[in-house]
Structure 1
């Protein structure tokens, strides 16, 4: 239930339930019988999201970003959970950055903002007992990150949302930052926590924004699936990062590491 609550607050519960229904329920069952209320039904899609629209993804990320080095990588059991990477400064244990990658598909800017607000509410719920008051967490603010354009006519920036806050645990105060972005059909979420004695909220936010801008310019995300049949204008406008129905072998250079996600076709799916 905690996971479903978090998905609901993030605005991704409908997509999650729709994918589960596609995977677990018989293809012979009419879609109308899978919903108790037409208003709550997931929007119709051409086949399931994971395993059809998105069949696999390669995320190539840098092992070092400025002074920060990747120390640990974790994959989550939930197919929608993706993976996370932890970065720290060598010899400095006062702070750490956790970077999350997980699939959400094509999202319009207003949908991304709604999902970011859901992440803020979930974070506030999780940390409210360790904060002096809810006012210790800032509102979401926009952050524009310049990036290389994927196509000649495609966008050369990624819109993100950022907030900062202060919390205490085990008698020690921390400054913390969250940055939330959607790029190439994946959420890229940063969580930075550092001892308040080492960095104020303002300093932590500047450090996190600098890290995120540098990181995003060095992350390659390529996905394959039937997303390649979506209108080209939408793929360019929303930076889909699709390479078509067939996978493309990525180039992983020195100082980089690849996260590969494969999404098998749901049981009973045709043409997979």
Structure 2
């Protein structure tokens, strides 16, 4: 409550909306308007060969890494997901494996097999324990083509409001470290050295849902006061519910909720784009997202 008192003295206005008028903010062009990715050009001996930007903004960008001593290459994809937890990651991983399975009978693919998915968490500096940032899933297997069998692996992790996906395949008779272990170690090193900063509505105070006088808010994570006429609560799903949207404590809860949201889902650095530091041996990718037109809805990556 001391934190609430401090916030109440200088809280910025939240967006006050009626409880029945809640409309989702678009992920791209709304919640995220600009993203800057700073990534390393060298990861465990693998050298970045080039970038690819995709026409559909929800598909993000990819970077290809290769090294002379290893067959094949590692493709790394960065694409936005917004506020996601481990359950979203698990669902996306299953869907991505299923998508690879649909290649059977096409593109010279005869059969596809993946072993059980392995889960781990990469410890990242400044990330709260309750955040899913740093959660990673890896699956290894093989792809049978008419030209032969290839060992393959896929890793997907959550990092700063984005999915980071790694893909690696090599001939099955290549030997060496198992592809899944190799890719898992590569992604772990990449996570520790990449920075993704986004700006947009992700920095705003939480919207305030105004309820009818005398109606009691429920499911409070943080209670704003005992006076029923001016009572406000911050709910576990990230909403401020209050009878008086202009009350100082209501505004303070909206700001506190935004701070808690950014701790759980790191990567938002404000409403105004910033210039990230690009260390030597790194490269920056800048992506600007336009708000979607009513006639074109963004395709979900889930």
Is 2:104–2:111's contact at 8 Å kept on the other side of the alignment?
Answer: no
The aligned counterpart of 2:134 is 158
| Cα offset, 1:60, TM superposition | 0.4
The aligned counterpart of 1:82 is 60
Residue in structure 2 matching 1:188, options 164, 168, 171: 164
- Determine if the alignment matches structure 1 residue 119 to structure 2 residue 119: no
- Determine if the alignment matches structure 1 residue 144 to structure 2 residue 171: no
Residue in structure 1 matching 2:192, options 210, 217, 237: 217
Distance 1:264 1:178, change over 3 A: same
Distance 1:116 1:156, change over 3 A: closer
Distance 2:23 2:92 in 1: 20
- Determine if the alignment matches structure 1 residue 177 to structure 2 residue 153: yes
Is 1:56–1:263's contact at 8 Å kept on the other side of the alignment?
Answer: yes
The aligned counterpart of 1:107 is 84
Is 1:149–1:157's contact at 8 Å kept on the other side of the alignment?
Answer: no
The aligned counterpart of 1:232 is 259
Give the TM-score normalised by the residue count of structure 1.
0.73
- The runs of 4+ residues in structure 1 deviating greater than 4 Å are 127-134, 153-157
Q: Which has a greater percent of helix?
A: 1
Structure 2: any 5+ residue segments left out of the alignment? 1-20, 207-257, 295-302
| Cα offset, 1:179, TM superposition | 0.4
Distance 1:249 1:139, change over 3 A: same
User: Which whole-Å deviations, capped at 9, do the CAs of 1:231-271 have from their partners, x for residues lacking one?
Assistant: 22122123x31111101101111110111110123459xxx
Residue in structure 2 matching 1:197, options 168, 173, 176: 173
Is 1:58–1:260's contact at 8 Å kept on the other side of the alignment?
Answer: yes
Is 2:111–2:143's contact at 8 Å kept on the other side of the alignment?
Answer: no
Residue in structure 2 matching 1:61, options 15, 36, 39: 39
- Determine if the alignment matches structure 1 residue 208 to structure 2 residue 183: yes
Give the TM-score normalised by the residue count of structure 2.
0.67
Structure 1: any 5+ residue segments left out of the alignment? 1-31, 33-42
3-state SS in 2 of match to 1:121: helix
Distance 2:81 2:122 in 1: 19
Is 1:148–1:157's contact at 8 Å kept on the other side of the alignment?
Answer: no
Alignment root-mean-square deviation, CA: 2.6
Is 2:85–2:132's contact at 8 Å kept on the other side of the alignment?
Answer: no
3-state SS in 2 of match to 1:126: coil
- Determine if the alignment matches structure 1 residue 246 to structure 2 residue 272: yes
